A and B are shown apart, each in its own frame.
Chain A
Amino acid sequence: MFRISFRNMFQNKGRSLMIGFFVMFATILYIVFSSFVSTMRSGMEDKIIQAVTGNLQIRPASATDVDMVTLKHQADSKSFMEDAQSKQIVSEIGSEDELAVRRVRFSTILTANGVKYPVTLVGLDQDFPEYKQAFKLTDGRYLDGSAEGETLLTTTQATKLGVKVGDSIEVYSMKLDPPAPDGKLKVVGIGDFEMLSMFGYSAAYTQLSSAQHFIGFEHGEVSEIIVYDRANPKAGDTSQLQNKLHGLGITASDVKVSAWKDMGGFIMGGVTLYKALFFAFIFILLFITCILLMNLILMIAMERRQEIGTLRAIGFSRNNIILIFIAEILLICLFSNLAGFVVGSGIVVAISHIAIHTMPPLAYIMGTEFFIQYHAIQVLPIIGIMLGIGLLSSLIPSFRISSLKPVEALKEE
């Protein structure tokens, strides 16, 4: 019975090719776009991990998730880790693949030339490459790990404050009541957080001891320890680290272990934005494909009226007709979808070897240089989606044509 579907598909080559072309085109678009968006998303996640969260966070038991998300760790909060404990943890869990960094992080105000600018001051206890991957310098140098009293500003911060590399800024101290300027930091570098600055991420790096001074930690306390997993950049499993800490006699009542994915909130808002962008695009693409296909298929159905009338007269039921017709459309969709899959994948794989350079303002969103990534698993759903679209858009035409009375279908125009 489906022989008719198969033969018809080859018989009316023009029509089949037209449908096939749409399906193939939509498939290619899907694959290219979804690879692009997921590359962006993945890149954004990388930057969040590098600049903000690390893979895992070890924080005082009393810390809340909101602390991390809003980046507002207040000086008067009791959530800090003792110097000794934090040093013990760092030395015990640090390994070739895992880098543990002690940080002090709090909200404060920078001031220069009479301008005040609120930032999150982040004190780092050592020099390490991860934060440099997220924070790209446009001028000056990174922090000297063995010095103190230095800071890195974003271009926005530097512009607002009217400072350049070599200038000094004053920093409000949180231990004073009310907070007031209590010392200076020297601007050694100016740059931008790739992909993050557009989401209002406004942090300024400094050395740990300087941050401790301004927050008022006098005995080497720190806000948190973040752990980078160098073997697996997207790692986010807390259980292993928890076990390790447990072995050191440090339990959940002492510290809280969290993963970058759970930090949610506005930092991840950027990731969500990419997802939303992706789904909006897919919806529009599929909607248009569906409408186009439906029209084409309706035309085919009209052309086949006589043939369908004949089949009805011979004794084929409505359902037989619907099956034959839909089978034909699905066959076309399947073939062109597979072709589109191969072509689309080929395109993405081909350009994945080429570094794509971007200029501001695009660079803020996508980074200055990126490689598009291809993952077959991730674009595989398009095969199912396209068959679904084929089915959806052939349902109405086939129901319409098969519900004609046989005599109407047979009528010659």
Chain B
Amino acid sequence: MIVIKNVTKDYRLGETDIRALRGINLQIDKGDFSTIAGASGSGKSTLLNLIGCLDRPTSGEIWIGGTQVNIMTERQLDQLRLRTIGFIFQSFNLIPVLNVYENVELPLLIMKEVSTAERKKRVNHFIEAVGLQDFAQRKPSELSGGQRQRVAVARALVTKPQLVLADEPTANLDSKTAIEIIDLMKHIRSSENTTFVFSTHDPKIMERADKVLHIEDGVIIGGKGD
């Protein structure tokens, strides 16, 4: 599903370049439930942003589902993010002025091939799948952190993406809720047959993944699973 070859990423900070990723090589298979684990500042977000096509690598190749994405145009990347990838963020990133239903519906509004009926069906399906059927009309500000992240999970999945990326999805949640969210993601992964990659620095969370990739100072230093 994901193949990464010799990827580096430099950030320019004033006069100096910071090398956040220093030659990453990895492979994640279809249907995997993997985590990228590492301390703060190790390069987890940088790596996930590159996989999610929110940013471009300084060098190296990134392949998603058999296509090389680091050479695609902006337009193509828009489409890839819309149809192939779903995102879950650390701070939920819901649109505050839209209610739960509308937030989940949002990506479908720009997928012209999804009919109104189909859209309605899918939105309701995923709101139910994350257990928020009674909160559909609530605004994000009226929800708890765990509930908000459930909305984000539903929004990420509603386009039926092949790949869902989550950058520290549990960092803003208490440990009980965090485990609930991870278990929810894991459960949906099996029913929807989606590939999940999330990052964390929490050992209790990483042990729930099938495959753990440890990252330190911008390099992968081994993993367990497979």
Contacts and interface: CB of A to CB of B under 8 A. Distances in A.
Interface string A295-337: 0000000000011011111111110100000000000000000
A310 B110 contact: no
Interface stretch (A194-202, A262-270, A369-377, A405-413): A405-413
B78 A315 contact: yes
Given A11-B96, A407-B54, A407-B55, A313 B87 contact: yes
Please classify how large the interface on chain A is, using the bins under 10, 10 to 19, 20 to 34, 35 or more: 20 to 34
Given A310-B89, A314-B82, A410-B54, A4 B97 contact: yes
Given A1-B110, A405-B54, A407-B55, A317 B78 contact: yes
B95 interface: yes
A384 B74 CA distance: 34
The 5 closest A-B pairs by CB, nearest first: A315-B82, A7-B97, A407-B55, A406-B54, A407-B54
B3 to A, nearest CB: 21
Interface of A is mostly: helix
A320 B78 CA distance: 11
Interface of B: 49, 52, 54-55, 74-75, 78-79, 81-83, 87, 89, 91, 93-98, 102, 106-107, 109-110, 155, 159
A103 to B, nearest CB: 72
A316 B110 contact: yes
A306 B93 contact: yes
Contacts, number: 68
A7 B78 CA distance: 24
Contacts of A309: 93
B55 A406 contact: yes
A223 to B, nearest CB: 75
Nearest to A307: B95
Contacts of A412: 91
A345 B79 CA distance: 49
Given A7-B98, A307-B95, A317-B110, 16 more contacts: A1-B109, A4-B95, A307-B93, A310-B94, A311-B106, A312-B81, A313-B52, A313-B81, A314-B155, A315-B82, A315-B107, A316-B82, A317-B75, A405-B55, A406-B55, A406-B81
